[in-house]
Amino acid sequence: MEKDLLIRIAYLVASVLFIVGIKMLGKTSTARKGNTLSAVAMFIAIVVTLLDSQVLSLTEIFVTILVGSAIGTIAARRVEMTSMPEMVAIFNGFGGAASVLVAASEYWRMAHDAGMSMPVVVGVTIVISVIIGSVTLTGSLVAFGKLKGLINGRAIVFSGQHAINAILFLAVLALSVLVVIDPNMEIWMVGVLLIALLLGVLTVIPIGGADMPVVISLLNSYSGIAACATGFVLNNQVLIIAGALVGASGIILTQIMCKAMNRSLTNVLLGGFGQTGGAGAAAGGGEEIVVKEVGVEESAMLFESASSVIIVPGYGMAVAQAQHVVRELTDVLERNGTSVKFAIHPVAGRMPGHMNVLLAEANIPYDKLIEMDQINDEFANTDIALIIGANDVVNPAARTNPGSPIYGMPILNADKARTVIVSKRGMSAGYAGIENELFGYPNCLMLFGDAKSTMTKVVSELKEAIPA
């Protein structure tokens, strides 16, 4: 029994390291160490499990682990930072799938191979694990498809959607009860699995592309809850603890994202939101917006004489790969004595904190990136607000127009700056499909063209004017 005790202690150590690791992930200075610590915890848990289940002699296990590690490492090293949301989505899906497979394996072993009767508690945990894991799997795959553009990013809605979801949900509950009562009937289990997979698709499909940050966070939470459920199946505390940490983290991020978009969590959990996009365009259409254009030379002159600049980056900047030239702009302006800051809206990018990563990749120090609440009062005392690739997060309609679909969403007060320069490809509406009245404001100048090439021209003009 001494070995058993040692193994339990090792799991305890792993659990503590997970908690400390997550704690350290919460501070920029210690985050990297925290991640390493949590990896160490994972390593301990894996090694201990390998020893405990006496599988050291089984080559297939090692081959599988090696193959998985190799693919995982290559994918993680190659992925572009703009594609992080897709990466997280697909990994979430894998985590969910792993939970389903483990539960299914355990079910098969008990109900089929051994022909044992399955205790009710075990049956319940297995069914929960299969359901949550399946929803996580297909939900994540749909999210991945939407982010990658493989399937239509717009909200896909059809009549009776909620009714169908409700019926499927009740069906899955009924089948679950049957599985628990009569575990030897595999057909019930297959039914649970299939319906849960379908539910995952149906709950994510009605969610529009602009709401993806919420979905990714929520699925992240589900993957944790799925791991938790597997912990109950196997009576293993480390799974429960690690899963609960992830579940909590995902739920908190979901709430933050909801708040940033002025939506309620219930609304998200029921699915079927983000449909405002289509209706919004019609509601927003009033009088024509008349804009003022500005050229590269004039913009450069404005920047040269500015003493303070706030840059509002959006996902469009990353798509245009303009973040590096934006860094150059920052450098040359600072050489001229101009203060440069970045205003980051919580939903800038395609997942929580995405913009921070994209700017960090371009070597922009993180202490220049200011959160919305902290920077919003500064716009009024700022010479230039440069909006690059962002749209809905600076739309004053969110403050003023109760008819607008984004009314009530907290926005960056870029319009309060003395001059607003908008770098934009054309007059197309934002991701939410809404006109932006800011573009017609008297202090707003439009710098049309591809963000990367226009910014490069502005920077070279400035470099001539401001010698190194």
Partner 1 sequence: MNAETLIVLLYVLVLASFVGFELISKVPPTLHTPLMSGSNAISGITIVGAIVAAGPDTWSVSKGLGIAALLLATLNVVGGYVVTDRMLQMFKKKKK
When the beta carbons of 42 and 281 are compared against partner 1, the nearer one is: 42
Joined tokens for residue 467: 């010698």
Half-sphere exposure of 188 (CA within 13 A, CB side): 18
Cβ atoms 116, 106 nearer than 8 A: no
Q: Tell me the C-alpha distance between 446 and 448, whole Å.
A: 6
369 part of the interface to partner 1, by CB under 8 A: yes
Q: Tell me the C-alpha distance between 128 and 189, whole Å.
A: 11
13 part of the interface to partner 1, by CB under 8 A: no
Residue from 9, 12, 46, 167 touching partner 1 (CB under 8 A): that is: 46
Least Cα distance to 309 among 293, 330, 279, 295 occurs for 330
Q: Tell me the C-alpha distance between 39 and 41, whole Å.
A: 5
When the beta carbons of 72 and 278 are compared against partner 1, the nearer one is: 72
Cβ atoms 294, 288 nearer than 8 A: no
Residue from 8, 154, 327, 368 touching partner 1 (CB under 8 A): that is: 368
Which one of the spans 66-74, 149-157, 319-327, 378-386 is the region binding partner 1 (CB under 8 A)? 66-74
36 part of the interface to partner 1, by CB under 8 A: yes
Residues contacting residue 146 through CB under 8 Å, at least 6 positions apart: 152, 153, 204, 209, 212
When the beta carbons of 262 and 305 are compared against partner 1, the nearer one is: 262
Active-site residue among 211, 383, 392, 415? 392
236 part of the interface to partner 1, by CB under 8 A: yes
Which one of the spans 159-167, 302-310, 362-370, 381-389 is the region binding partner 1 (CB under 8 A)? 362-370
Residue from 7, 81, 173, 201 touching partner 1 (CB under 8 A): that is: 81
Phi-psi region of 274 (alpha: psi -120 to 50; beta: other; left: phi over 0): left
Task: Scan residues 294-313 and list those touching partner 1 (CB under 8 A).
Answer: none
Task: Scan residues 131-190 and list those touching partner 1 (CB under 8 A).
Answer: none
3-state secondary structure 92-145: HHHHHHHHHHHHHHHHHHHHHHCCCCCCHHHHHHHHHHHHHHHHHHHHHHHHHH
Q: What separation in angstroms does the CA of 339 have from each of 119, 303, 310, 385?
A: 67, 11, 8, 12
Count of residues making up the chain: 468
Total interface residues for partner 1 by CB under 8 A: 113
Active site annotation includes 4: no
Task: Scan residues 106-125 and list those touching partner 1 (CB under 8 A).
Answer: 106, 108-109, 112-113, 119, 121-122, 125
- Report helix angle 451-465 to 296-305, nearest 10: 50
Q: Tell me the C-alpha distance between 144 and 221, whole Å.
A: 16
Residue from 6, 9, 12, 28 touching partner 1 (CB under 8 A): that is: 28
Residue from 244, 429, 465, 466 touching partner 1 (CB under 8 A): that is: 244
What is the pattern of x (binds partner 1, CB under 8 A) and - over residues 407-446?
----------------------------------------
455 part of the interface to partner 1, by CB under 8 A: no
Task: Scan residues 339-358 and list those touching partner 1 (CB under 8 A).
Answer: 344, 346, 351-354, 356-357
4 part of the interface to partner 1, by CB under 8 A: no
Cβ atoms 7, 51 nearer than 8 A: yes
Joined tokens for residue 308: 């303070």
Which one of the spans 46-54, 314-322, 380-388, 414-422 is the region binding partner 1 (CB under 8 A)? 46-54
Joined tokens for residue 237: 């505390």
CB of 412 to partner 1, least distance (A): 13
Task: Scan residues 375-394 and list those touching partner 1 (CB under 8 A).
Answer: none
223 part of the interface to partner 1, by CB under 8 A: yes
Strands 384-388 and 308-313, bridge-based pairing: parallel
CB of 69 to partner 1, least distance (A): 4
When the beta carbons of 34 and 430 are compared against partner 1, the nearer one is: 34
Q: Tell me the C-alpha distance between 363 and 75, whole Å.
A: 23
Task: Scan residues 200-219 and list those touching partner 1 (CB under 8 A).
Answer: 216-217
Q: Report the catalytic residues.
A: 392
